Amino acid sequence: MDRRDSERVARVTQQNRPEDKAFAPEYQGALGSLSVNSSLTEVLARGIEELRAAEHAGEQREMARCGLAVAEAYRRLGRVAEADAAWKSSYRAARSAGDVGAMAWALWSGGTLARQRGSLALAYRLLGLAAEMGERGGDVVVRGYSLAGLAETGRIQGDYQAVGELHEQLLAEARKRGEARHTVWALEGIAQMHRNTGSYDRALALFEEAAETAGRADDRRGRAWALRGIADVVSVRDGDVERALTLLTEAESMCREMRLSSALAYNHKMRGNVHYRVGQYPQARDNYEQALAEFQEMDEPRGVALSRLGLAKSLARLGRNPAETVVELVGLRRALDRIGLRHARDMVDKASVELGVGPLPDVGHRVEEAATR
């Protein structure tokens, strides 16, 4: 970091409180004035413009910083091939400049992209390197973001025992430094673990705290994710379809405004869940189909698998041939095994019992043959 960036981080980490405005530390250098709520299309356009200017001037450090924003905009827009090229270019520029902090940020972006694409082993490796470099370079923010990435990777795998303590540690650190955005992230992660283990009251309280904190901090992205979590809990715990859909509609408007492609697709998948839980299977099918197409377009394997599962359950309820349902569930289980998502794999086994087609066989090709007879 140069003096301007160091002063900015110090000012935020020392003076902010969770109720203050959120900031986006991944927007650096010439892009440091961008808001956490800036439209991703705006971030991408500004980032490319400033990146070209830095390339023309031969400023490697500025190339690394602008390249980071470009990589993150591409990633969040679901343009994964461009995101992959951008973070690697940012890393090369940072390495040429000898900027360890910028190298750490590029690795964080690459690790986050790897998790989004379902390459969890690569995500662990890149995020671990990012955390090490962040510590070596004295950048507590990128270190914290990288450790959070490791925690989230473990959480989506279902390894709650291993990462639960890390989530709590990161929440405490974020609150101490007054990082509203990171506080919201940690609250949502802990809430999701409680939700998945059936502690609905605790999950709801944490999601509501996250939504309130994000609202005070003007973190619309964090609030959109928190509202989705609240909608999930009030749907599964209370069967309150009207409230759940109202919350999801509010969150969807934020996602569309900021062009949050992944968050929007997960919003649509959650709509499918809400409809499915109360037996509105045609509506659920339509939402799952929409989410599936969105996840496929952005090449996000986890979202694809979860949407496929919801769609398979909806079609089964609408009279699909049970043998075809078995084929789909077996294929899904294999896909989730490849990604390493243990919690989601358990969901497939539970679905097979719920639909009366389980337990599932381990050999997929035999099932496929049966379905075509």
Q: Is 70 exceeded by the pLDDT of residue 371?
A: no
Average pLDDT over residues 295-321: 94
Say if residues 302 and 343 touch (Cβ distance below 8 Å): no
50-85 pLDDT per residue, tens: 999 999 999 999 999 999 999 999 999 889 999 999
What is the value of pTM for the model shown?
A: 0.84
Mean pLDDT, the chain, whole residue set = 89
101-121 pLDDT per residue, tens: 999 999 999 999 999 998 999
Q: Is 90 exceeded by the pLDDT of residue 235?
A: yes
- Tokens matching residue 26: 């991944």
Say if residues 83 and 71 touch (Cβ distance below 8 Å): yes
Non-local (6+) Cβ contacts of 241 within 8 A are: 235, 274, 275, 278, 280
Say if residues 134 and 150 touch (Cβ distance below 8 Å): no
**Where residue 279 falls among pLDDT bands split at 50, 70, 90?**
very high
**Where residue 361 falls among pLDDT bands split at 50, 70, 90?**
confident
Share of the chain above pLDDT 70, in %: 91
Lowest-pLDDT range, 9-18, 201-210, 301-310? 9-18
DSSP 3-state of 261: helix
The answer, yes or no, to whether the previous bond of 301 is cis (omega within 30 of 0) is no
DSSP 3-state of 26: coil
DSSP 3-state of 87: helix
Average pLDDT over residues 242-250: 98
Say if residues 312 and 283 touch (Cβ distance below 8 Å): no
Q: What is the pLDDT of residue 174?
A: 87
Which residue matches tokens 């890149």? 126
Measured CA to CA in angstroms, residue 118 lies from 13, 339, 365 at distances of 32, 6, 24
| Cα–Cα distance for residue pair 38/257, rounded to 1 Å | 9
48: Cα within 13 Å, side-chain hemisphere = 9
**Where residue 297 falls among pLDDT bands split at 50, 70, 90?**
very high
DSSP 3-state of 259: coil
Q: What is the pLDDT of residue 20?
A: 65
Share of the chain above pLDDT 90, in %: 70
